[in-house]
Each structure stands twice: as structure tokens, then as C-alpha cells.
Amino acid sequence: MTVRTRFAPSPTGMLHIGGVRTALFCWLYARRHHGTFILRIEDTDRERSTPAAVQVILDGMDWLGLHPDEGPYYQTARYPRYREVIRQWLDEGKAYHCYCTKEELEAMRAAQLAAKAKPRYDGRCRERREPRPGVTPVVRFRNPADGEVVVADRVHGDVVFDNAELDDLIIERSDGNPTYNFCVVVDDFDLRITHVIRGDDHLNNTPRQINMLRALGVEPPVYAHLPMILGPDGTKLSKRHGAVSVLHYREQGYLPEALLNYLARLGWSHGDQEIFSLAEMCQLFDLDHVNKAASAINPDKLAWISQQHLMHAPPARVAAEFAWQLGRLGMDVASGPALEPIVLAQRERARTLREMAENSRYFFRAPEAYDEKAARKHLTAEAVPLLNGIHTALAALADWNAPAIHAAIEQLAASTGVGLGKVAQPLRVAVSGGGVSPPIDQTLAIVGRDGTLGRIGRAVTWIGAQAAQSAGS
């Protein structure tokens, strides 16, 4: 039997990190077993589901590369099928009409809570034959009254529930719409889902779903309930703490495979390995090494993993996302230097593509001002002869490339009897505007000869102006 997994988000909010992790594990499991990954949109909540939310889910999955093999299926498109099952269950006595009003139900709940009992429907309409005038009924599933249900969970082991704890849940509302737990069961059955991988907030729903599956005449699929993901502070994910749309991570400059790598390690492990390519994850993922305990997001580690991927991904691939980030900063990529050399020069000093872009501005535009501290330290009167000297040497270079530039700088340093840093730092500030950049030869190679010579000249002029100003004041 081929593996069939599904990711079933409800389009009522955004697709955040928790949902993505669930989707990832479903996708990974399907890939690992050469199975089918299905996307199903659970939009039976007509009030809160929106097309925009559906689009956000689709866009997010697309950016991440978690493409479904089947679907998306929409529950709202399957209403006739749900009605059919409900009719059948009504005929077979597996479901019944309940004429209790919302007020009655509320009173019941209040009384039970007051008696320190678990609030649940008491089954008072179970044997009712006659309709009740003026009340549009709901349909309830007739849950077995006794015995127990065992959820054979791949991450938690066997979890046993008493049927006595379960009440008869509503499967069709009085407005005729089916409800979530019921739709899930019918869909998982119709779609022949073999492995239900989802958040463990659904563990408590599972025994009811198993009972309904059995009413349908099938044995349940394999279940795997994943632990929750918590915010950096160890509390539930909220808007304040990490519950942001996945696309936000793109804006922050993360490579999708880096995000996915991080998420895979949140709750799953393969010995001591931390860095995984997509292919490795697909090959190694299993349910046996999924953790049972909830885990907190650690932004520092995400950033580190991001950098690892930046350093090891093909430069051409990084360059594509890098271009997008530069564009966001208003850089004119088309008329600037080639991107791949910049990626190569910058990737070990940037944790995200966004950082890389912010640190690469001077490759596209001459600095408008010098970093104050760096200028005070390096753009000094002592630096002027050095800058003039290197200007001359660089202007005379036959070939403009890093080794040649490096040789020129070394030669100047040697002939003037100073260390390499004495030449490199003023040069770095002159060209980049600050005290930090890739190795100076690489930096100059990318900036280009014209740009470099111009910026050196401007720095010398600036030093002169500073001197004149302080002399005059």
C-alpha cells in the first residue's frame, strides 16, 4: 500500500511556523516512502474562511517548495458527499436528530461545570422519535457508550480513551453544514489517507474520529501527533512571539531550505546531525525519531542554520534570492556588478540574505558618508600618502583582479615599511564607507577600478577638508 499523507489547514488565519512544520513532516514522510502528499483546505467554517487566507497558504507552500501531489481539495466542494454519509448513518441508526436548543445545551453545560464534571452532551435525544415543533434539529453521531478506544500513535505509543468520556458530537449543524471532526473522517476515508500526521492538539479528537471511521466500516489510519511549537520565550506561539506568516521569513532573508532544515530539527533528529539538505531530509526522515515534548523556537539557531545554507548552497541559487533582497533595498541590480562574486565574498559574514544585501550596498553605490568611528580611526593625515600610493599602484595595474590587487597592496606595505592593515583599513573605509567588508582585494575587485580610484580620491579630499576645518576652528 502506498503512503498517502495530507496537510489540512483551515484558511482562517495565516500559515505560521507550526503549520509549516506539520506540512513539512507530512511532505517528508510521503517523499521518504515514495508516497503521495495531499493538500486539503478545511473551509467548513463559512464565517471565518476567506479566499485571501487560502491564497496565503498556497503562496507559502509554493515558496517553501512543499508542492502537493494531489489537491488542493476543498471541503466546501464536498457537501453532497457529507450529506450522503449523514443520510446513511441516520438510516442505519448510527446518527440521530437532536432537538435540544442552544439554551438548553448551555444550561446543561453550566450545571455540569458547577458539579465539577466534564461538560458533555447527555444524550437526551438519543431515543427521541418525534420532532420538536419550532426547533430545527442538528444531527449527532451516536458514539459507543462503553468500551475503550486505543489510538495507536507513532509518536506517543498507545493512548487509551474510555468511550464513556466521549459524548455524541454534532456532525451536522442546524443550518445544514457539516462539522469539522466529521468532515475530516469522511475526507480521510475518501482520500484513502494512510498516515495522519498533525499537531497533538488533535490527539483528544482522535478517539471520536476512530469511532466514526469504524461506523464507516474501516479501520483507522496510522496516527502521528506532533508536539507543539512554542515561542522563543517558551510560551504558546502568539502574534507577539513568532506567530508570523511564513512569507515573513522570506522577507527576513531566509532560504526556504534553511527554514525547513530548522523546522525539521524542531522535534525530529538524526543523531547529532544539524545541517540537512532537502534531499537528505527526504531520505532520512522517519516517525521513530520524532520528539514527544513541545519545543521553543530559537531565533539564534535559525540564523546559524540559515548561514550554513547560505555558505553551502550553489552561489547561483543564492544569487537569485539575493537579487530580490537587493531590489527591496532599492539597489539597481541590473547595472551593478555580477551577483555571484558578491555572494561568494559575503556569504560567511551574513546570516541572512537580508543582512547580506544590507552589507553589500557599497557594491552598487559609492558610500554617501563614512562611518564616524571608522573614519576617525583610519581616514587620517597619516593615511593620505598610503592612499595616494595605492591609488597610483592600482591605476597602473595591468589586470583588475583580486590576486593582482593583493600583490599591489602588499608591495606598497612592504615598500613603506608598514603592516598590511595600515594600508587595507584606510582603503576599506574609503571604498566601503565603514570598517567592515570582505577581504580588501576581493572587495576592490568587485567594486571595479573606476569606482575604487574615484573613492580613494574622494577620501583623500575628504581628509584634507577635515584637516582644514579643524585647523580653522
Partner RNA sequence: GCUCCCAUCGUCUAGAGGCCCAGGACACAGCCCUCUCAAGGCUGGUACGAGGGUUCGAAUCCCUCUGGGAGCGCCA
How many C-beta atoms lie closer than 10 Å to residue 205's C-beta? 15
Nearer to RNA, 301 or 327 (CB): 301
Nearer to RNA, 133 or 217 (CB): 133
Residue 303 in contact with RNA, rule: CB under 7 A: yes
Contacts of 231 by beta carbon, 8 Å cutoff, 6+ apart: 237, 238, 240, 241, 242, 243, 296, 297
Q: And the C-alpha cell for 143?
A: 458514539
How many C-beta atoms lie closer than 10 Å to residue 335's C-beta? 7
For residue 97, the minimal CB distance to RNA (Å) is 11
Applying CB under 7 A, among 100, 379, 431, 459 the residue interacting with RNA is 100
Determine the interface stretch with RNA among 36-44, 50-58, 82-90, 322-330 (rule: CB under 7 A). Answer: 36-44
Residue 451 in contact with RNA, rule: CB under 7 A: no
Applying CB under 7 A, among 387, 437, 446, 459 the residue interacting with RNA is 437
Question: Could you say which residues in the range 118-177 bind RNA, by CB under 7 A?
Answer: 118-121, 138, 156-157, 159-162, 165, 167, 170, 173-175, 177
236 is known as an active-site residue: no
Applying CB under 7 A, among 48, 126, 192, 365 the residue interacting with RNA is 48
Applying CB under 7 A, among 70, 190, 201, 332 the residue interacting with RNA is 201
Cis peptide bond prior to 72, omega within 30° of 0:
yes
Q: And the C-alpha cell for 330?
A: 532599492
Q: Could you give the 3-state DSSP secondary structure of residue 176? A: coil
Distance CA 199, CA 178 (A): 22
Applying CB under 7 A, among 2, 55, 88, 101 the residue interacting with RNA is 101
Question: Could you say which residues in the range 384-423 bind RNA, by CB under 7 A?
Answer: 406, 419-421
Nearer to RNA, 231 or 454 (CB): 231
User: Which residue among the candidates 239, 292, 301, 373 is catalytic per the annotation?
Assistant: 239
Nearer to RNA, 66 or 170 (CB): 170
Q: Per-residue x/- mask for RNA, residues 251 to 280, rule CB under 7 A?
A: --------------xxx-x-xx-x------
Distance CA 364, CA 333 (A): 8
What sign does the CA torsion over 101, 102, 106, 112 have? Answer: positive
Nearer to RNA, 170 or 213 (CB): 170
Residue 309 in contact with RNA, rule: CB under 7 A: no
Applying CB under 7 A, among 63, 74, 189, 304 the residue interacting with RNA is 304
Distance CA 48, CA 12 (A): 5
Distance CA 190, CA 179 (A): 16
Residue 283 in contact with RNA, rule: CB under 7 A: no
Note the helical H segments in 127-245: 180-190, 206-215
For residue 234, the minimal CB distance to RNA (Å) is 6
Nearer to RNA, 23 or 170 (CB): 170
Residue 230 in contact with RNA, rule: CB under 7 A: yes
Contacts of 326 by beta carbon, 8 Å cutoff, 6+ apart: 333, 336, 339, 357, 360, 364
Contact in structure between 292 and 340 (CB atoms under 8 Å): no
Distance CA 234, CA 241 (A): 9
Applying CB under 7 A, among 287, 319, 424, 453 the residue interacting with RNA is 424
For residue 470, the minimal CB distance to RNA (Å) is 25
Nearer to RNA, 323 or 424 (CB): 424
The kind and range of the H/E element at 342 are helix 339-346
Which sequence positions are flagged as catalytic? 239
